[in-house]
Structure 1
């Protein structure tokens, strides 16, 4: 039984190669012949050699580590994005550090500093709902560390981004409600600090305008995405002298909370009030009635973000220009809207 960990010297002596050749073979240096690299890797496996990642990172100026920053884990959206990204990054030989900001701007800054201290090669980011200053991400840019934003993207940084077509998804959702005969359509919107909240609000507004339905400010409420507030605001809308006959929610958790409130008040869904969500969380198909929602290609968001980051890392000096990838959405119709749409409904 070996009583010490195998070293590069052990491999070099066994194969009668120089230490530098073995080191280059282990780190994938292009100047090492394929046959030599294969011999070195086989011997490293036989001797149970464990690479010194710190030494390698000092040699290559790479840690083979990517940071992923997400704002919350309450919904399945961000875990699924992470899985998609991690699949792509693992295939490329990268490890991942996951940081959860818990919708706290202060925690997000701490997480950014942690990733800098960990010398990550790049980061994938979806910022918190309270983030309005992005200086902690600009530091990565100044240090030459590539950054890719996903889902919650920003205009303030010239970096690559992955988003879905929030405007088009919202427009189609509201148009579907109109095609089922609804006219007083309320919208529970997210905070205006989030670009996707603003895009979904614009899609809602334009769908009403294009169908000659006046926009009623009393039916639009922007809120902080906490479910207790959603409960309060849904009750507020239902208590209006002229309550809404439909609700388009910023996301599925909001829509599901609204569905609970409406059912508890003895109202019929979708006859008295119809509901549409956004994101197609798995639970949206399990509740009764099923939730009509705008589906996002969640796994693709993570995969696309990871690929954009790898493209940046592959070009060490002349990095490609930043890219914006916008993925399509899909309206899934379930029982929370009319099961018998009026003629002309394109969905």
Structure 2
């Protein structure tokens, strides 16, 4: 017997059990005693048993592939999300097909077509900054394709969602800046179409309102492509610094906007935090290595990827159509450093 090709029939013969008993034991069926499950699993592990995924997919009409739709793989936040997704997918013997739309609605639609041609079992989706119309996802949802939205979500489609506490994170950061004595707190954020933009602005405005601050709308600047284009950040920062009363503190709403803003401020010769304080949503490594170290709103991107994948696989493997959906909200952590 070749141990690298061991089958369920081989295990059944070796342990003098039926094929169905071995199959159910490996799946952890309640119909099989714990002692038998342990016996089968130990034998399977010792003899390097691996399930025949192709045979299973043909039998169950499943591809055991998950499609991932997101903006940019090199983005620090999404790189961590992908690591979380992969950790669960690998443990469950699912393959990933990852697409990046580079913040383009047109590319998002085309990538979605490519994924469906490959008959993925489900989708993990984070919307592009240009996406206002979600009908391309709605059509697939109506056809019964399981999907979970994460980070950048839509309420137009009934589906599981996994998000960050964007309101709370922005509120904490803005409140911190207020308590440090800053008077004119501006923000540079992403596309107004995105759920994360609306929620982070809600937290920002809530903190200002509670403190009796009434800043004009020009203290809020948008980057239509989430800061992927450095010129967007340059324009937003220029608009803020040209105000009659320029901001003395800045809240930035994503990795790319945070890093870009920090660099541009220093290139302009402005001192952080003496002339302008900076705090930002960020998941890049070692913000303490910035000079001065950067105050950040930390999101648990890895956990977001894990949770979204668990919800999707549960839905894919459910015996009945899922009609009740969950919204998981992960907490943020404000880490105060010298930039504020």
> For each residue in 1:44-82, what CA deviation from the matched residue of structure 2 results, as whole angstroms up to 9, or x when unmatched?
969xx99471x5323111122211111112421111101
Equivalent residue number for residue 69 of structure 2: 69
Match of 1:262 in 2: 265
Residue 298 of structure 1 is matched in structure 2 by: 301
Distance, in Å, in 2 between the alignment partners of 1:158 and 1:233 is: 35
Matches within 5 A, 1:1-347: 25=23, 51=52, 53=54, 55-224=55-224, 225=226, 226-319=229-322, 321-337=324-340
Please state whether the residue corresponding to 2:170 is helix, strand or coil: helix
| CA deviation after TM superposition for structure 1 residue 311, in Å | 2.3
- CA change 1:227–1:42 in 2 (3 A) is closer
Q: Show CA shifts across 1:2-49 (max 9, x none).
A: 9xxx898xx78x969xxx959x95997879996997799699969xx9
Q: How many matched pairs? A: 327
Tell me the alpha carbon deviations over residues 254-275 of structure 1, each in whole angstroms, 9 at most, x when there is no partner.
Answer: 2222222222232221111101
SS at match of 1:87: helix
Superposed displacement of residue 316, structure 1: 2.1
Secondary structure of 2:287's partner?
Answer: helix
Paired residue secondary structure (2:124): strand
2:65 touches 2:95 (CA, 8 Å); kept in 1? Answer: yes
- Aligned-residue CA RMSD (Å): 3.2
- For normalisation by structure 1, the TM-score amounts to 0.83
Distance change >3 Å, CA 243–CA 304, structure 1 → 2 = same
Could you list the structure 1 runs, at least 4 aligned residues long, displaced by more than 4 angstroms after superposition.
Answer: 24-46
Q: TM-score, normalised by structure 2?
A: 0.85
Q: Work out whether residues 6 and 48 of structure 2, in 8 Å CA contact, stay in contact via their aligned partners in 1.
A: no
**Gap runs ≥5 in structure 2:** none
SS in structure 2 at match of 1:145: coil
Give ranges in structure 1 of 5+ residues lacking alignment. Answer: 338-347
Larger Cα Rg: Structure 1 or Structure 2?
1
